[in-house]
Structure formats: C-alpha cells, structure tokens
A and B are shown apart, each in its own frame.
Chain A
C-alpha cells in the first residue's frame, strides 16, 4: 500500500499570548487553547491532496506525547487522515528522540513519503524532519512550498533565504513544509462524527524500541527584553524630524 506518514504536534494555539510562570519554571499552559501545530496541518493537508489525486492510498497521522494529544489526533482524522498512531509518553522528548520514534514508525509502516511541519511553534527547534531523514538515511526536502511527485521521485520547491530552490529527491523521503504550500481545509461537523470510527492505535516507546535519553535541560524561562515606550508623531514632516533627531536620516 502506498502510504504517507504525517507527524503532528499538539501546541499552544498560535493566537494565544503566552505567559511565563512567575517563578520562571515554564510557560503557562493550563487552561490555554491547544491546537495542531499550524505547519503540521499544512503537512496533513498536502498528504490528503496527494491521496485525493490518487498518488497515495493511505494517510497515517502520528504524534508522540501524553494522553492529552488525543483531541488533536482526532482533529486530523476529521480532516481526512485514515488512521492515527499515538505514541504515548508523559516524558517530554527532544527532537532527536522524536525522530527515533518516527524512524521506528517508518520501519513499521513503510511510507513512501513522510510529511512534517518545518518547525513547531512552541519550541521552534526546527530539527525533527532533518533528524529523521538522517537516521533513516533518506533524502530531506525542507521548507517546501511545492511538492510534485512522479514515479519514485519528488520534485520539491523550497523557500530559502535568497528565493526559491528546486531539488529532486528519490523516494522514500522526508519533506518538511512551509506556510505557502497550501491552505488547510476546515473540519466539518459530520467529519468529526465519522472520525470517531477511524482506527486509533496507542503505542509505547518500549514497543517501538526507543529509550530516550535527555541531553538538554531548560534551566530558566524569562520574558524577552521589553522595548522602551515610544512616541507618537502627527504627520510625515514630524516623522522626518524625529528620524533626523535620532541621526537616522
């Protein structure tokens, strides 16, 4: 079966203004809206479109995390994924460990394509896809804004600092997606009902043979430096005057 594996992460919704706990021990997540990482939604949308074009037969979504991640996986099933894999653990894992879990899942599911978001908007690591590709000894195409599949190959347009780069990779491959790849569909109510019947499998790290080892410890959380309060000017001439005063013109 021609399968696409999509990795997703549950994160604080991008509209939430995050707050640091007063004791600097973390970010307040209690009572905060949680969502599927926006980049991962784009990855899933792309997988669904590929399947709808007939170039794939099954779309699997997977996440690694605590029991709380279930609603986000259900959302993905409602969007159209065929089945969900929940690798359950209460230990927060580093990107390398997540990549090892995904590597084990590629062994199990034999996808021809793995689609992931280019970064998660909470930790902003931007590492997992590239790490998976390295462990899997397969190509990577990061920051994708266009994915074209042909027999055994993918042609991917990437958003890079100087413009757009196109590379060709042999499949299977890992593609991490950027914002302009597509616009994810909205979930409709009947789909949420239908999604309840879709296969949902819970796995453990042990069953996948992954024994994570922490290599990084966060010792402090702090708010960013605040900027000085600014001034208002009334028109273009005053603006020019203010810039001249600061020696900027």
Chain B
C-alpha cells in the first residue's frame, strides 16, 4: 500500500529551507512513499519551483494568501488541515517553525504527533529521543491514525535536486485574524549557518564577557566555522539566543564541534550527539564534556584560543 506523505515546506518567502530536503529524506525512508510538498506563502512561485526540484518529491501544492507573508502557525495550520484528508502522514521539520506549527495541525486533525523522528522503522513505527536524548524510544502509531510528525533534521542528510514535480495551486481557506506578525530581529550574518556548518566553535560561561566571546568569532573565521554557545553564555548575554546549542536550542550535527569553556551538561550534550568529532577545551579535567569528547585538551582557554588562532594562521 503506498503511503501518501505531505511535507510542510519551511521557507522565508524566497528560499526553501534545507530542513525541507531533510524531511523529504526522512519521508523517503517510509516504504512506498509518495511525497507531496505543501508551500504556504504570500507568493509561492519561487519556493514551489525549488520544492519541485527536490529529489523524491512527486508533487507540490501551493496555498497562497497574504497572511502567509510570515509563517504564523495559526494561519498555516488550517490550510494544511484542509489538504490533509488523503494523506497518511503529515511531516514538518523539528525547527522552531515546525515545532510551533505541527502540533496545531495534529490537534485540528484530532490525531497523534510523533515529535523529533530520528529514524523510521515502518510506516507506523518511529524512533525518537526523550529525556534530552538520554533515552531513545520506539513508538508505534495505533489503529491507522494519521501520523503527524516533526523530523529531527540532524538525523537526516538533505536529499539533492533533479526532480521535476508538477506544481498545483490549492485554494486557501480563510485564516484567522487573531494572530498578527509584528517584527523579527533577523540576525542575518555572513557567517556560516549554525545548523548546516561543517565546523562549529562554541563557547560557554567561562568566556566571561561578550568581549571575550569575540575571540571565538575570530577563531571561527579562520576555520570557516559557525559560532555556537551554551545556555549559560546566552543567558549571561555573551551571545545571542539563536546561537544556543542543546535541548532548548539547536540540535546540530557538524563534522567538527569545538566546545570551549563548556562543562557538558546533559542539556547541552543532547544538541551535539550527532557531531562527527567533538573537541573539548576546559580547565577542569573532570568536566563531563570530556566523557563525550573525541579530543580533549585540559587548560585555560584564554591561553589556548589565541595559540590556536596563531597556529592556524
């Protein structure tokens, strides 16, 4: 029996997020998947064209409405719920976009949501982390219930492009007006994106000030790396919130993660479990970060970081 899968596209109005290609990768591991991508936008043309090219996508449906200029869950959820009838699965990324939106869709459909899918065992069986990744459970969706899910993007490699899926327009339902976009402080930088960078240099409370944190930006520049931070560093104002890595921040899977002055609390480690190589620099030889580090260096970061900078040149 073919599984009819609807993926909600994440985008900024111009560009399809790589998270969507990761959702497609996840959906493609469901046996006999027939994949449709839904694009809700004020003007969907550009994003729909990108979605239609993603390998494995069979069809793209657009829903255009001025309310979709910004991705408000309250406005998008009824559109997806209206489309969802013929689908066995409705998936979105486990980004803040998907985490906000997907449960609202699930409730409108009065069905179950599987959060943070990290592996597919069958059309109804999925693996997901609980307790900040300290346990992995396998869950079975019962009684043929429609599956709404968020995809843990760090667990899947984005699929490539090359498809030429047909694009169809669906007519929108009238979204509610009780929720209005006001503003976004998009910290757009020319630095590599934390979620897709190959190397991440990450700093903790030990940096001690926003000025010292600049040291990490300099090191990151030399390594073409993104910058991350622990919650303590963000709470203390050394780094902006979108740099937080961990249970309540970003879950990332870089090739190389360099943790500097970070103790390695479980809530932080859950964000870096899938990093290929973890380097820890910490002056406390007993710091828990060393339990997960592939390469550990005990010492004072204020000496080591400038040395690294020099050695890399």
Q: Is A65 an interface residue (CB 8 A)?
A: no
Nearest-neighbour CB distance to chain B for A144, whole angstroms, equals: 11
Contacts of B1 in A (CB 8 A): none
Q: Is B87 an interface residue (CB 8 A)?
A: no
A12:B131 contact, CB within 8 angstroms: yes
Q: Is B29 an interface residue (CB 8 A)?
A: no
B140:A217 contact, CB within 8 angstroms: yes
- Which residue of chain A has the shortest Cβ distance to B72 in the bound complex? A167
Q: Is B212 an interface residue (CB 8 A)?
A: no
Contacts of A209 in B (CB 8 A): none
A17:B295 contact, CB within 8 angstroms: no
Nearest-neighbour CB distance to chain A for B81, whole angstroms, equals: 9
Contacts of B136 in A (CB 8 A): 221-224
Contacts of B32 in A (CB 8 A): none
Q: How large is the interface on B (under 10, 10 to 19, 20 to 34, 35 or more residues)?
A: 35 or more
Knowing A17-B266, A140-B100, A215-B143, the reply to whether A230 touches B308 (Cβ < 8 A) is no
B279:A162 contact, CB within 8 angstroms: no
Chain B residues 226 to 257 lying within 8 A of chain A, measured CB to CB, are 231, 234-235, 240-242, 247-248, 250, 255-256
- Which residue of chain A has the shortest Cβ distance to B77 in the bound complex? A134
- Which residue of chain B has the shortest Cβ distance to A133 in the bound complex? B104
A124:B295 contact, CB within 8 angstroms: no
Nearest-neighbour CB distance to chain B for A89, whole angstroms, equals: 18
Nearest-neighbour CB distance to chain A for B293, whole angstroms, equals: 5
Interface string of B19-45 (1 = CB under 8 A from A): 000000000000000000000000000
Q: Is A20 an interface residue (CB 8 A)?
A: yes
Q: Which residue of B73, B135, B176 has the most chain A CB atoms within 10 A of its CB atom?
A: B135
Bound: A128/B103 CA distance, A? 8
Interface string of B108-145 (1 = CB under 8 A from A): 10111111100000000100011111111111111101
Q: Is A188 an interface residue (CB 8 A)?
A: no
Contacts of B281 in A (CB 8 A): 239
Interface string of B273-313 (1 = CB under 8 A from A): 10001110100000000101111111100001001100110
Q: Which residue of A131, A165, A217 has the most chain B CB atoms within 10 A of its CB atom?
A: A165
Q: How large is the interface on A (under 10, 10 to 19, 20 to 34, 35 or more residues)?
A: 35 or more
Q: Is A219 an interface residue (CB 8 A)?
A: yes
- Which residue of chain A has the shortest Cβ distance to B73 in the bound complex? A140
Nearest-neighbour CB distance to chain A for B257, whole angstroms, equals: 11
Q: Is B174 an interface residue (CB 8 A)?
A: no
B113:A127 contact, CB within 8 angstroms: yes
Knowing A161-B250, A224-B134, the reply to whether A239 touches B179 (Cβ < 8 A) is no
Bound: A221/B131 CA distance, A? 11
Interface class of chain B by DSSP: mixed
Determine which of B106, B195, B295 lies in contact with A96 in the assembled complex, contact meaning CB atoms within 8 Å.
B106
- Which residue of chain B has the shortest Cβ distance to A227 in the bound complex? B292
One of A78-86, A189-197, A240-248 contacting the partner: A240-248
B96:A160 contact, CB within 8 angstroms: yes
Knowing A127-B115, A240-B311, the reply to whether A140 touches B138 (Cβ < 8 A) is no
Nearest-neighbour CB distance to chain A for B275, whole angstroms, equals: 9
Nearest-neighbour CB distance to chain B for A239, whole angstroms, equals: 5
Bound: A162/B239 CA distance, A? 13
- Which residue of chain B has the shortest Cβ distance to A122 in the bound complex? B131
Nearest-neighbour CB distance to chain B for A142, whole angstroms, equals: 5
Bound: A216/B144 CA distance, A? 11
Q: Is A149 an interface residue (CB 8 A)?
A: no
Determine which of A17, A168, A237 lies in contact with B180 in the assembled complex, contact meaning CB atoms within 8 Å.
A168
Bound: A86/B132 CA distance, A? 27
A243:B279 contact, CB within 8 angstroms: yes
Contacts of A127 in B (CB 8 A): 103, 106, 113, 115
Q: Which chain A residues have a beta carbon within 8 Å of chain B's beta carbons?
A: 12, 14, 17-18, 20, 27, 94-96, 99, 118-119, 121-135, 137-143, 145, 155, 158-170, 173, 178-180, 214-225, 227-228, 230-240, 242-243, 246, 248-249
The 22 listed contacts between A and B (C-beta, < 8 Å) are A128-B103, A132-B107, A137-B176, A161-B96, A163-B184, A163-B240, A166-B182, A169-B180, A215-B142, A216-B141, A219-B139, A224-B129, A227-B292, A230-B294, A230-B295, A230-B296, A231-B296, A232-B296, A233-B295, A235-B297, A248-B256, A249-B223
